[in-house]
Amino acid sequence: MSKSATSLERPVGVWQRDHAQARPLAAIVKEAAKVIAPLWPISAFIARHPWMGLEGEPFADAADRLQQAHGIDLYPPMAVFHAAMAKGEIDLVFVERQLQQWLDKQPLSVSRREAEPLCRALLWNDTVPEEALCLPELPQLAEAIRLRPAAVRPISARLGNIVERLDQQMIKWCKLFYDEAKTPWALPHRERGFYPAWRRLVAADPALSKEERNRLADWPHDGEEALRQALMKLGVRDEEAGAYLEAHLLALPGWAGMVVWRSRQVGDEVRGLIDYLAVRLSLEWALVAPYLPFERGNHTDSSAVLSLLAAWLHWGGMTPEDWQRLPEKEQRARLAFVDRFWRIDRCHLWLEAWENTYEAKLKETISAHRPMDETKAAIAQLLFCIDVRSEPFRRHLEAVGPFETYGCAGFFGLPIQTRALDSDDVHPSCPAIVAPQHEINETAVLEAARPYRRRRDMFRFVGETFKKVKQHVLAGLLLPEMSGPWLGLHTLARSAAPAWAGRVVRQAEAAAEQKPKTALSLHRHGKDESTGLPVGFTTEEQVQYVKQLLVNIGLTSSFAPLVVVCGHESETANNPYASALDCGACGGAAGAFNARVFAELANLPSVRAELAKEGIVIPDETVFVAAEHITTVDELRWLEVPPLSEAAEAAFRQLKPALGEASRRANAERMAKLPHVGGTPRDPVAEAQRRAVDWSEIRPEWGLAGNAAFLIGRRELTKGTNLDGRVFLHSYDWREDPTGEALAGIIAGPATVGQWINLQYYASTVAPHYYGSGDKTTQTVTGGIGVMQGNGSDLLAGLPWQSVAASDRELFHAPLRLLVIIEAPSYYIERLLDRNEDFRLKVQNGWLRLASIDPNSGMWVNWKAGHLASVPPR
């Protein structure tokens, strides 16, 4: 195969930014907001990586900027790399190779002869030896030069007690304004917006002193004008305004992310951020006014230079006299070289070596794969979500019978919002990057629904009464006496016998919530008054959605008698992160609704007739059935089984016992990975079920921890291969996609969601105190929108430590950037990169990695910025 390929590099024109003073304030705020990402409410926890606004710059450069300006590390600590090396996850051959490649392509400020031994020493050492720091000439040499200007920091951040008060104020006002728990005492003037409501109420805030309130007495009533005035009074220079606002947004990135999400819901993201920043900077000025004007520090102190200079003298083969003879400009260049390499580049090389080791092992696993015996035609085909938790279950199911499995995004290509039976609320049951185009409602016959509604209304009445009594000033005093004995028994049972009590509670809830047989509004009939979206689909839309998915996964012929459409959800107890374990492609909800919709559409005679005209013939004996994969217990539950043909009925009977065996095997594999289980338990299914209902269980399952790759290709590539539950598997047959549109859709949708998931786990692992959410056992759900540590922290945006680590000192998730692997000829990849600028930037700037497998030669091709090269042998 030719190794020539289209370069990922594009000509870069010179772009000069206007002076900050000439730029509108809204533009400065929008630019500053790139360092944060929208945060969805915890009830619909959507995976998102916190650096989505920074993908226009290389990963290493973004890491450098965030570390220098804000002290945020985007790389794992060196101890994590060393632990991975000890476990055989990092091959030292790749470490050396990455160093040599880095030296080859870097425009070095020093000679290669000097740089190589210095970099190799820095690669392995976190500190300079003590004797190197004891040189008598060192302090004088370090004092003579400054490395770089200090980062722009808010004035309040330089006054410890002030920044704590400022954060407490912002947390308080955000909790009051963004509360979704429908408390009886709502924030006055909330309908006017965040800043106007705060402006009207701050004069009565007892947490501020009289002098601080007086400073805000004549403050502007418009948020943008207030922000402009605060910047002026704080003495922020025009050229520093963006960095100053960026630092304030990163002070509480969770609440700032919630502002972005809520503002996008109403279509004016910048307005919401201006209001948020206007409140924060107005409060900052009121708090720091007595300290103004504040002396700013323009340079780093000499101690920051000391170790860098010592490194040059110790490992660079220089004497103090050699250093003194260098021009000051070259001294600064050499110190900057060591500084950047020690802080950023060496970590990047270690990360790439870890990633390349994993890629080499995955390549070896896939290359050594021998297809399973396919002499018998499959009697059932099952469509699973690409979720990495599906991989072990699919593998074990295929091993126990004549079954085929396919992978696709768990919303099954349906851009819908759903409304459950009698619900006033709709849920966007599609990825966050997809706007719903249709609404699907669930309805039931009146007579069948009447008993269900009576039960539901009774439970709602009890719940509402309990809530009102609890919130009432006088009646609340009696509530402990009335409910204490019953709740005490409930607590005792769930603590002493969690498995038994949990099953009883789950069964009682299921009996109370059991719905009658419902119908879905699949056929177009008008629009929803509240959302304006059409209810149902036209016939053309029904055909298009079914065809699109079948073509994307390569299932256009050889249909089995039974095709099972599997959504997925988790089952946990007492877990605010329950939606994080559900289907991200369905907006952080279970995938049952989408599975039902797609199965029913594929069974419609009108849809099949139109598909046949386009060459996709679904036999009359083939029946689509909706099911749900319960990831916590690795069990497949049937949602709705329509009348089956004779062949489908036979397949159904054979599939049911096979599912039980696949469940047992998958649970045994999963339980062995969970800490505190003690190896594989005697009954892995029972242990999985206990963990699902135990309300004290902090780790009912690992979720998507461990995810590392996203494979787009035919199942024949990996069928029967143990991928260890670390690979998203999306079915794709390039032969069914001559225009490349299906591949482009997979990259723009499912692969992007996979990257978000990957980088959310990455961020929660490498910077858990900033991008994670800490210890799950000490969290508090606040306002119905998210979690905090205690009652006064930032709104925590990432995953709890228990989702990525086996203990305080041992990680479970390996923080690797996602490797996307596409089975297709190279010209498919070239076409994709040429047409999709966003994807090109992700690859070029290192926010994900890209490889392809040539379907004809089997060659593994690694796509990198500027060139194409086969992965070298280990």
For 773, other C-beta atoms within 10 Å of its C-beta total 28
pLDDT at residue 155 is higher than 70: yes
pLDDT digits (tens, 9 = 90+) for 275-291: 999 999 999 999 999 98
Q: Which two tokens stand for residue 409?
A: 């995004």
Split at pLDDT 50, 70, 90, the class of 189 is confident
CA–CA distance, 427 with 824 (Å, rounded to integer): 36
Q: Which two tokens stand for residue 198?
A: 């705060």
Which strands form 438-443's sheet, in the order they lie side by side? Answer: 427-428, 416-419, 438-443, 519-520
Is the pTM higher than 0.85? The answer reads yes
Q: Which two tokens stand for residue 33?
A: 């907001």
User: Alpha carbon of 534 to those of 46, 124, 127: distances in Å?
Assistant: 25, 61, 63
User: Alpha carbon of 572 to those of 399, 490, 498, 518, 788: distances in Å?
Assistant: 28, 17, 12, 26, 20
pLDDT at residue 296 is higher than 90: no
CA–CA distance, 93 with 872 (Å, rounded to integer): 11
Residues listed for the chain? 874
Average pLDDT, the chain: 87
DSSP 329: H
pLDDT digits (tens, 9 = 90+) for 683-718: 888 888 888 888 888 888 999 999 999 999 999 999
Split at pLDDT 50, 70, 90, the class of 316 is confident
Question: Span 394-402, mean pLDDT?
Answer: 95
Split at pLDDT 50, 70, 90, the class of 302 is low
CA–CA distance, 651 with 726 (Å, rounded to integer): 30
**Better pLDDT: 577 or 536:** 536
pLDDT at residue 519 is higher than 80: yes
Q: What is the CA radius of gyration of the chain?
A: 29
For the chain, what percent of residues have pLDDT higher than 90? Answer: 58
Written as one letter, the residue type at 310 is A
pLDDT digits (tens, 9 = 90+) for 106-141: 887 788 888 899 999 999 998 888 888 888 888 888
Say what the pLDDT of residue 23 is.
77
CA–CA distance, 552 with 371 (Å, rounded to integer): 22
Sign of CA dihedral 118, 121, 123, 126: negative
Q: What phi and psi values does residue 207 have, to the nearest 5 degrees?
A: -75, -10
pLDDT digits (tens, 9 = 90+) for 20-72: 345 799 999 999 999 999 998 887 778 889 999 999 999 999 999 999 989 99
pLDDT at residue 788 is higher than 80: yes
Split at pLDDT 50, 70, 90, the class of 470 is low
Say what the pLDDT of residue 1 is.
37
pLDDT at residue 174 is higher than 50: yes
Question: Span 386-405, mean pLDDT?
Answer: 95
Say what the pLDDT of residue 194 is.
93
pLDDT at residue 9 is higher than 60: no
Say what the pLDDT of residue 832 is.
95
Strands 623-630 and 849-853 come out as unpaired
pLDDT at residue 373 is higher than 80: no
Question: Span 167-171, mean pLDDT?
Answer: 94
DSSP 751: I
**Better pLDDT: 579 or 811:** 811
pLDDT at residue 360 is higher than 90: yes
Question: Span 622-635, mean pLDDT?
Answer: 95
Split at pLDDT 50, 70, 90, the class of 821 is very high
Q: Which run of H or E residues covers position 361?
A: helix 346-367
Where do we find the tokens 């419609």? 604
Say what the pLDDT of residue 650 is.
96
